[in-house]
Structure 1
Amino acid sequence: MSQHFLLSAAARSLNLAKVLRMSNKEAETVFARIRWEETDGQPICPACGCDAVYDCRRPNGAPRWRCKACRKDFTLTSGTLFAFHKLPLQTYLAAVVIFVNEVKGKSALALSRDLGVQYKTAFVLAHKIREAMGAEIRGVTLGGEGRTVEVDGCYVGGHVRPENKKADRKDRRLSANQNGKRRVVVAIRERDGRTVTQVFESEAASIGFIKARVERGTILQADESSAWNPLHATFETKRINHQEAYSLDDACTNDAESFFSRLRRAEIGHHHHISGAYLARYAREAGFREDYRRNSNGEQFRRVVTLVTKNGPSVDFCGYWQRNRAAALAA
């Protein structure tokens, strides 16, 4: 019997103890080499792209540089998702390691205990990491001539508690008896490829999104839901009736179902409640974990930190607790 990848030595190329033993200088060096990989960690001005900069550290030793071209000051995290950080950089790197070491997800409460910070600090930090994970699929299209893509939906949230007495209970499957908070996560997953997700009120509302994200000439596979019928006009579509089989006549949605299994387990085992405004973020996090499940934790760490450096300050969570902005999730 072959060994599961997560049990193999190849899955463990980085450990949390190594990060926690880093000095501030070592943590700064690691972050700089990932951010400015093309110059082996030598700073580049994020405002104008000039590499002619000089060191002007603060009196407390915090790293800071000044650009000779535009005369602007910047730090290691300027212009990144970790901009305006208050905690030591080592803590942020440790948070990323803890986050990628989890297979299904990491709750903000557990992260706050691991890092010794307030819950709201861990909550915002976790969502910034999710934002980095989700940034990788922004605008990505899947499939192509002869490629196979699976499409499926998973309804999340909007739980309606049944009445105590059987005589008072209503059919919760009917829209009239729901609370309006139930949403569907639609997953588009390419065989041996990436996973793209988005949240809609119904599966039928996702048709335009699917057409925009799947290349022409793709072989589309979906289940028996009538919501997918309009896709036949654009793609060669194979359908599987799950009341008859999980896979039949070379048609199945097992890869998409695998993603939903991870999302469900994250909801039940870690987060307990992921509906509402943040559902799209949790879905993209699950997609990232599913896509890179065969990569070592060291590779995942480097990829996430790279995405953190490539994306600017969070629109949703910059000044979030001061309510400077309302959270508005981007597609």
Structure 2
Amino acid sequence: MSQHFLLSAAARTISLKAVLSLTDADAWKLFQRLRWPDTDGAPVCPCCGNGRCYDVTRGATPRFRCAACRKDFSPTSGTLFAYHKLSIRDYLAAIVLFVNAVKGISALQLGRDMDISYKAAWVLCHKLREAMASEMKGASVGGSGETVEVDGCYVGGHVRPANYKANRKDRRLAQHQTGKRKVVVAIRERGGRTVAAVFPTEEASADFIKARVEKGTTVHTDEAHSWEPLRTKFRIRQINHSFAYSHDDACTNQAESFFSRLRRAEWGQYHQISDLYLGRYAAEMGWREDHRRQPNGVLFSRLVGQAGRSPMSIDFTGRWQKRAA
């Protein structure tokens, strides 16, 4: 039997040891190359986009001045790492730990590994999830001749049953639920990318699915009536799970694979996911599932570059200083 890719040496192209051995200058050069790949690390002004900048560094952090707008900036200016408190080497090391955790890493564990507070680790993890989600922001999947699988997974709102059987209530009824239960709807193209979003019910996702799946796509779903509105735009193939998980090439197994990763992250790493941030965790697991067969060095470069090109976080920049929007 052939060796699984993740067990091979080709899957290991970067390590925590290698990042921590970098000097501050080398760490900054690495970040600059990943943030500005088109210029091989040469600075580009984040305000006006001019490439004519010169070095005005006075300390350990590189500083540049734009020849056009005359504004000073650093490599992290205008990015998710703006106003950073940690060294850039610590951020790169944290990203290595983050991408190496195939089912996610909790903020508590990351804080212990990096010797930083839980608050700092929690914000950093959410910023990295924001960078992951930006890859599929506004993107569509499918197209003529393509196949897309659609399915839903209900998360959260657990109601603990009473101790004595006589006191237990039917948790399927709406009046006995917490109202926090949400459904993560996954739209996964076979051999392509995953789009995930959170809705109160599966029925509420129909318009979103129609907007994010291209015309001419064959959509595979399960037997739920929630997907009937999709017939007005797509050719639908359904699989009845009470009969089989896959039959005559009709299945939702790749969507179920995504949900398996989400469930294992919820139960084994995070233990509880707030409905407020459920969409961010779903986007993270979609990113991990889409890039699961790539070396960790590629994942590292992709995430660092995406974080370097993403604007400052509205939700998490200055969160603990009460400056977040």
TM-score higher than 0.5: yes
CA distance in structure 1 between the partners assigned to 2:130 and 2:169 by the alignment: 39
SS in 2 for 1:31: helix
d(CA) in 2 for partners of 1:216, 1:61: 53
Of 189-198 and 312-321, the range deviating more from structure 2: 312-321
CA distance in 2, matches of 1:190, 1:69: 44
Measured in 2, the distance between the counterparts of 1:292 and 1:197 equals 15
Partner residue, 1:322? 321
Deviations 1:51-102 (CA, angstroms, capped at 9, x unpaired):
22121113x3321111121010100101111111111000000011100001
Amino acid at match of 1:233: T
CA shift digits 1:153-181 (9 cap, x unpaired): 00000000111110111111122210000
1:249 Cα deviation after fit: 2.1
Opposite residue 8 of structure 1, the aligned amino acid is S
Structure 2 residue 273 is the aligned partner of structure 1 residue 274: yes
CA distance in 2, matches of 1:44, 1:16: 29
SS in 2 for 1:164: coil
1:53 aligns with 2:21: no
Q: Distance in 1 between matches of 2:39 and 2:282?
A: 35
Identify the residue that residue 148 of structure 2 maps to in structure 1.
149
Q: Distance in 1 between matches of 2:54 and 2:249?
A: 61
Q: Percent identity?
A: 60
> What does 1:116-135 correspond to in 2, within 5 Å?
116-135=115-134
Match runs of 1:1-331 below 5 Å: 1-58=1-58, 60-325=59-324
Alpha carbons 1:24, 1:89 under 8 Å: kept: yes
Q: CA RMSD in A?
A: 0.9
Shift, 1:322, TM fit: 2.4
Give yes or no for contact 1:158–1:275 (8 Å, CA) kept in 2: no
SS in 2 for 1:276: coil
1:329 matched residue in structure 2: none
Which deviates more from structure 2 when the two are superposed, residues 60-69 or residues 286-295?
Answer: 60-69
- Greater Cα shift, 123-132 or 171-180: 171-180
Is the CA contact 1:183–1:275 (under 8 Å) kept in the aligned structure 2? no
CA distance in 2, matches of 1:231, 1:280: 22
How far does residue 299 in structure 1 lie from its aligned partner after superposition?
0.3
Unpaired segments ≥5 residues, structure 1: 327-331
Distance between the aligned counterparts of 2:144 and 2:157, measured in 1?
39
Q: Give the secondary-structure state (helix, strand or coil) at the position aligned to 2:220.
A: strand
Question: Match for 2:20: what amino acid?
Answer: L
User: Counterparts of 1:158 and 1:186 in 2: how far apart (Å)?
Assistant: 17
Deviation at 1:185, TM superposition (A): 0.3
TM norm structure 2: 0.98
CA distance in 1, matches of 2:35, 2:260: 34
Per-residue deviation, 1:50: 1.4
Unaligned stretches of 5+ residues in structure 2: none
> Could you tell me how far 1:325 is from its partner in structure 2?
3.1
For the residues of structure 2 that align with 1:266 and 1:61, how far apart are their CA atoms?
38
Alpha-carbon distance in structure 1 between the residues aligned to 2:24 and 2:77? 17
| Residues 126-149 of structure 1: per-residue CA shift (max 9 Å, x gap) | 100110011000011010011000
Q: CA deviation at 1:23?
A: 0.6
Give 2:265's aligned amino acid.
A
Contact 1:133 1:288 in 2 (8 A): yes
In structure 2, distance between residues paired with 1:276 and 1:78: 31
Matched position secondary structure for 2:277: helix
- Following TM superposition, the consecutive aligned residue runs of length 4 or more in structure 1 with deviations greater than 6 angstroms are none
Amino acid in the other structure paired with 2:225? S
Q: Deviations over 1:217-261 (max 9, x none)?
A: 100000011100111111000001111100012210000000000
Shift of 1:206: 0.3
Letter in 2 for 1:156: V
SS of the equivalent of 2:287 reads helix
Query: Aligned partner of 2:269: which letter?
Result: H
Deviations 1:276-328 (A, max 9, x none): 211000000000000000000000000001111111000110111123335xx
Q: Is the 8 A contact 1:156 1:275 kept in 2?
A: no
Q: Which amino acid aligns with 1:213?
A: R
